[in-house]
Structure 1
Amino acid sequence: MARTGQARTAPLWALAAFLAAPPGGHAEVQGYVGIQSRWFPDTPLDQRQRSASQSLVVVPEWYQQFNNGDDSINIKLFYRHDHNDPERRHGDVREAYWRHVGGGYELTVGVNTLFWGVTESRHLVDIVNQTDQVEAPDGEEKLGQAMIHLALLKDWGVLDLLVLPGFRERTFAGEAGRLRSIPVTVEEGVYASSDGDEHIDTALRWSHYVNDVSVGLSVFRGTSREPLLFLDSERGEAVLRPYYPQMQQSGLDVQYVNGDWLWKLEAIYRDYLGNKLLSRTLATDFAATTFGFEKTTVDIAGSGWDLGWIAEYSYDSRPASVAPFDDDLFLGARLSLNDIAGSELLMGVSQDLTVNDAHLAVVEGSTRVGTATRISLELNYFHSNSPEDALFPLRQDSFVELGIDYYF
């Protein structure tokens, strides 16, 4: 049976943050509850999988300020119940931290989610949090990460220093779940470090704005958030086991605003630190980059709508069987209606320039109904006829998703 990532430290961080909050001050309680339905038009690879699934999600948040606004407590909890896949019935502490704002610095202690990056189609430099893969295939949903985060706010930029105790294993769909992408059982992870999931990782990022250019330089050293999968048959049953090596990643992100044009770039170099298992997992040091632009046309024909055209190219030095964006072009468009309902639509297609019959497409749209309800519709289409391509295992898992969320 697949095992979702465990976080023994996350509930303790949440409890400590809650107990540490003093009475009084400005407090807010908000969040949302929602239902989600997915429909898979293609026949599944595994007969235990279903053509449709429904789930319920609950995401409460609590925020409190005190000490004249210099200190705050944030807690954001997450729980989803999926009627088909036991591995998608999971809870997580997305946020549970105390933050102090001082003269020229901010200190955050607890569980938090941080996003680094600027590009649309691929987030290379976003390395701090583990991907919650059972939530969405695009890698944008993240598990909470315990951290001590000191941000130094200087005239020469912002310097983020992070100490990351504890590690979250990546979540995988269960045997009855869709978007499984692999035909064999996933077992618990193996670690290069003798500390296992208790290894303490570190990260550093410098960012700064110079006129219309923003630049970020980052370094991460610790347990890789991206597992390397190897076939393990030592116990008599062949299982696919995630291996989490030690690695160092150096990253660069740049964004340049020039009128209606927004130019973006992300680039990384990942160095896997040596271990005897690496030869079994196709692990090699690699470089990757994504760059492109978004051109926005404002107030189309006096309609009040804004339309942004997106084009990005992705390169990865790893083979196509390991990296789904090894030589790919992404073309898309973002439509904002600028109405009171906050209606938006994003469409895009990513085409592999090496494997002609490998591509994926996404359509995401959402609008608000009334004052508290948001309806979203999403389509994810995967196509590949080449067994050597990383998209090939997902060829039967294209889906349409309808979500209705009520905010309180």
Structure 2
Amino acid sequence: MSLRFAVLPLFLAASVEAAGFSGQINLEQRQFLHDGLEGQDKSQTSLVIEPEWYTEWQDGDARLTIQPFLRLDSMDDERTHADLREFMYLQLIDDYEFRIGVGKVFWGVTESIHLVDVINQTDNVESVDGEQKLGQPMISLTAVKDWGTLTGFVLPYFRERTFAGKDGRLRPPLPVNDNARYESSAGQEHIDGSLRYSHYFGDWDIGASFFKGTNREPYFLPGSTSLTPYYAQMEQTSVDIQGIFGSWLLKLEALYRDSLENHSAAVTGFEYTIVGAFETYWDIGLIAEYQYDSRSESLNQNNLFLGARFAMNDIDGTEVLVGVSQDLDNSQESTGRVEASARINNNWKWRANAWWFNADKLDSPLYFARKDDFIELALEYYF
């Protein structure tokens, strides 16, 4: 990935006061329950290496963080990839924060989907839920004031979304090619911008954001053997709200997007935590969220998500999340997931995920994944 600005010279004269090196190495095995619709294998093994190095000086007011990422995959050449998740310089000056480099920014409060999270591009080959992101070149300035936090972003380079290759799973019948097209003549060098305000008002945490630039979600141009991504320009206005009332969390994410097609979308609901459930140390969070999207072809156009989060509060930090998203217009269309993890010791952790997909209509956005149910087991080493 080429960058049009360099950050390293800013640090050459700095006197390092603290530094650290950590990271993780994962061995992952996905086992699909059915052969792929395009003849793909059932077994998929991956190795992930993700180290992180940081150094700081000026009594912690200056910091540099570097976090590369590498995945080696046995099935899909497109899933074998490297990325610079973070190469970020942070400078604190009184109640201002200046950042320059490559970084990750997360916005959102809901569990089932993250509508308003727009700065980073989705690393689509990494996870089904879209929570894994590519590093984004950026310059940002944040003002942390009594009246709230205001951040402005300049994003000088666009990252294209990753997609499974011809031999990969969880892909449409036609694979997605690498010959992306853009509405802007500047292509990947179009300069995007964003502004975000957030603040606490009593029991409410409220964020409002505006983004103008290249749409992170591509449209697709059909071809005889593959699909071509088309990245249009867009303006997006969004809000995210979370209220905390005892054991209740009330959540809302909503947006209006003006792009090649205009649409509005929202997800809202609650999470209620039962502390010490069944006279044990367990905490159980009950989750319910409604998903709306004005686009009739959207996966989330009229869905209900129900889930439960189990925190065992044991020495191993065992956690389990179970959730089902049901299309309210079609009883035969749903997705489900189970996520579980626990520590083995101070360095080792195990993780288990499972996803299943139900769809019976040709025009369903889930129809291509109807044979892609899978179980994933991972052994993770932290250093």
TM class by shorter chain equals over 0.9
Residue number among 37, 41, 44 corresponding to 1:45 in the alignment: 37
2:165·2:175 contact (CA, 8 Å) conserved in 1? no
Counterpart mapping for 1:217-232 below 5 A: 217-232=208-223
SS at 1:88 equivalent: coil
One-letter amino acid matched to 1:8: S
Give ranges in structure 2 of 5+ residues lacking alignment.
none
1:245 and 2:236 equivalent?
A: no
- The C-alpha deviation readout for 1:152-211, integer Å capped at 9, x for no partner, is 101110001000010100001111111113434524210000000011100010000011
User: Residue in 2 aligned with 1:381?
Assistant: 356
Distance 1:182-1:23 versus aligned 2 partners, 3 A rule: farther
Partner of 1:298: 275
Equivalent-residue separation in structure 2 for 1:18 and 1:60 (angstroms) = 23
2:74 aligned with 1:74, yes or no? Answer: no
The answer to whether the 8 A contact 1:17-1:98 is kept is no
The 5 A counterparts of 1:180-259 are 180-232=171-223, 237-259=224-246
CA deviation string 1:30-64 (max 9, x = no partner): 001110000001121112x1101101000000011
Aligned-pair distance for 1:18?
A: 9.2
Distance 1:358 1:351 in 2: 6
- Measured in 1, the distance between the counterparts of 2:12 and 2:373 equals 46
The 8 Å contact of residues 163 and 176 in structure 2, kept in 1 or not, is answered as: no
TM-score normalised by the chain length of structure 1: 0.91
Which of 136, 141, 156 is equivalent to 2:127?
136
- Residue 329 of structure 2 is aligned to residue 360 of structure 1: no
TM-score, structure 2 as length reference: 0.97
Query: Pairwise mapping of residues 100-179 of structure 1 onto structure 2 (< 5 A)?
Result: 100-179=91-170
Query: Per the alignment, in what secondary structure is the counterpart of residue 400 of structure 1?
Result: strand
Deviation of residue 17 (structure 1)? 7.2
SS for the counterpart of 2:78 is helix
Task: Name the aligned partner's letter for residue 19 of structure 2.
Answer: A
Q: Aligned-pair distance for 1:89?
A: 0.9
* Residue in structure 1 matching 2:21, options 19, 29, 45: 29
Matches of 1:257 and 1:199, distance apart in 2: 39
Moved over 6 A (4+): none
Deviation at 1:345, TM superposition (A): 0.4
- Offset at 1:83? 1.2
SS in structure 2 of the partner of residue 151 of structure 1 = strand
Letter in 2 for 1:62: W
* Aligned partner of residue 188 in structure 2, secondary structure: helix
**Distance in 1 between residues matched to 2:244 and 2:74, nearest whole Å:** 45
Does the CA contact (< 8 Å) of 1:366 and 1:377 recur in 2?
yes
Q: Report the counterpart of residue 254 of structure 2 in structure 1.
A: 267
Q: Which residue of 2 aligns with 1:278?
A: none
Q: Which runs of structure 2 are paired with 1:300-319 in the superposition (5 Å)?
A: 300-319=277-296
Identify if the C-alpha distance between structure 1 residues 402 and 217 changes in structure 2 by more than 3 Å, giving closer, same or farther: same
Name structure 1 gaps, 5 residues minimum: 1-6, 273-282
Identity of aligned residues (%): 44
Q: Contact conserved, 2:174 with 2:226, CA < 8 A, in 1? A: no
Label 1:271 to 1:21 Cα distance change in 2 as closer, same or farther (>3 A): farther
AA aligned opposite 2:21: V
How many residue pairs get aligned? The number is 383
Offset, 1:304:
1.1
